[in-house]
């Protein structure tokens, strides 16, 4: 049927079918793909840019964290230190209760008394202060124990002996005996206080400050007890024991040598009494002997001269080396008595053999914000004991006629 026939019958016009050019269709598809690829690339670059900016910001924060704090204290990074710092400043013990550390780190909380073992850093600082003080602790035998009493077994007798012959029967000889010396531990405490406002605003190391305060208090209390303590709720000092003239010395007492002059060195040959003191000590102890006196007594002693006009006192040749008297080191312990009538102002002996200090290694700190408002009290405790463990190892110089 022709177009004219269709028109003649009254039908409408038929549109022509348009044929697509394959080349043009491919070109259009390629352009669309290129546009999509460009958009994808732009999106990826935007994401990369955002990531780079985020990393840069984090890096800046890390660097800022390394800068020293100016207005506030830097936050502790060690877990136990951070927890203890929070407890000292605000009483927040949540971190302490949930903290479990290994080895030498801080122990778990003690729920019974509300206290906590201090962190290793604080404990070491306190011990460092104690060792740096001029105390018998520097010379004595120091032992760490877990119990409440330290016992020392001392053999101060001799086996008997005798000469035997080929035919004669061997005679039974004497049997040595052992003495037991018990050194009980006592509780040493310190109670420094500080205002809560200062704790809130403080910009330095709270642990270090607390350790220094506690260490100073403990050092002074210990030094006094190890010399003159009476043994009642405190260590027993070596000057608290029975003292007898060295010529009549017996186990259980401390022997002394008298100067022959009340409250002073003798006017004639004053250095001789120091020589007598040295040789009153047995030879087995003398090699490790040390003089102990306070600063005022040392001021007198260092003026003494021998018959040739030479000073008996000589200062240490190197930094940190103690002064020497008659060739033996000198410890300046301020708790020794001054030179006075009947005073035992100078001691000489092997204190590592003669005096033992027993202690528990843990220190406890209890924070009390209620008892002294608006101040906060820090109750620190330590258990320590001390006593003479060998009565033959220490001798005294008595400033008396006899």
Give me 30's structure tokens: 């390629």
- d(Cα 325, Cα 393) in Å, to the nearest integer? 18
pLDDT in tens, 139-160: 999 999 988 899 888 777 766 7
Q: How long a stretch of residues is the chain?
A: 402
pLDDT in tens, 208-242: 777 777 878 888 898 999 999 999 999 999 999 99
Mean pLDDT score of the chain: 78
Q: How much is the pLDDT for 71?
A: 41
Give me 385's structure tokens: 């004991």
Contact 228, 333 (CB under 8 A): no
**What is each CA distance from 86 to 53, 83, 303, in whole angstroms?**
34, 5, 54
Contact 124, 377 (CB under 8 A): no
Exposure b/e, 139-175, CB count within 10 A at least 16 = b: bbbbeebeeeebebeeeeeeeeeeeeeeeeeeeeeee
- What domains can be seen in the chain, in order of their start residue? 79-156+176-232+361-387 (3.30.2400), 241-358+389-399 (3.30.2320.10)
Q: How much is the pLDDT for 27?
A: 73
Contacts 24+ apart (CB under 8 A), 101-109: 105/80, 106/80, 107/362
Does the global pTM surpass 0.75? no
Q: How much is the pLDDT for 241?
A: 94
Q: How much is the pLDDT for 72?
A: 43
Given a cut of 70, the residues of the chain with pLDDT beneath it are 1-23, 26, 54-133, 158-159, 201-207, 317, 319-320
Q: Sign (positive/negative) of CA torsion 128, 130, 132, 136?
A: negative
Q: How much is the pLDDT for 219?
A: 85
Give me 120's structure tokens: 């290793």
């Amino acid at each position: 049927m022709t177009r004219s026939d269709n028109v003649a019958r009254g039908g409408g016009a038929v549109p022509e079918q348009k044929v697509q050019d394959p080349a043009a269709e491919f070109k259009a598809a390629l352009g669309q793909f290129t546009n999509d690829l460009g958009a994808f690339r732009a999106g990826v670059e935007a994401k990369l840019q955002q990531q780079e900016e985020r990393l840069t910001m984090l890096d800046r924060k890390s660097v800022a964290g390394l800068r020293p704090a100016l207005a506030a204290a830097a936050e502790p990074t060690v877990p136990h230190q951070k927890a203890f710092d929070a407890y000292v400043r605000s009483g927040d013990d949540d971190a302490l209760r949930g903290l479990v550390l290994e080895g030498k780190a801080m122990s778990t909380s003690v729920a019974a008394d509300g206290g906590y073992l201090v962190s290793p850093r604080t404990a070491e600082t306190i011990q460092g202060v104690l060792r740096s003080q001029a105390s018998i602790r520097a010379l004595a035998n120091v032992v760490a124990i877990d119990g409440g009493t330290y016992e020392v077994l001392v053999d101060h007798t001799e086996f008997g002996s005798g000469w035997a012959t080929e035919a004669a029967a061997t005679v039974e000889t004497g049997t040595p005996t052992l003495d037991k010396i018990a050194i009980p531990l006592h509780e040493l405490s310190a109670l420094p206080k500080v205002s809560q406002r200062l704790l809130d605003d403080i910009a330095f190391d709270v642990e270090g400050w607390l350790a220094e305060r506690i260490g100073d208090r403990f050092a002074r209390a210990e030094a006094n007890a190890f010399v003159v303590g009476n043994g009642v709720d405190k260590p027993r000092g070596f000057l608290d024991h029975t003292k007898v003239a060295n010529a009549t010395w017996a186990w259980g007492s401390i022997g002394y040598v008298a100067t022959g002059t009340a409250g002073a060195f003798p006017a004639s040959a004053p250095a001789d009494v120091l020589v007598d003191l040295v040789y009153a000590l047995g030879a087995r102890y003398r090699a490790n002997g040390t003089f102990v006196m306070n600063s005022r007594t040392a001021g007198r002693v260092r003026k003494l001269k021998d018959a040739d006009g030479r000073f008996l006192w000589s200062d240490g040749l190197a930094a940190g080396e103690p002064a020497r008297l008659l060739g033996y080191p000198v410890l300046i312990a301020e708790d020794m008595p001054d030179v006075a009538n009947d005073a035992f102002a100078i001691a000489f002996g092997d204190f590592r053999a003669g005096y033992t200090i027993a202690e528990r290694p843990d220190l406890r700190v209890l924070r009390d914000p209620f008892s002294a408002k608006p101040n906060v009290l820090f109750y620190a405790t330590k258990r320590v004991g001390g006593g003479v463990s060998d009565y033959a190892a220490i001798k005294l110089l008595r400033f008396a006629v006899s």
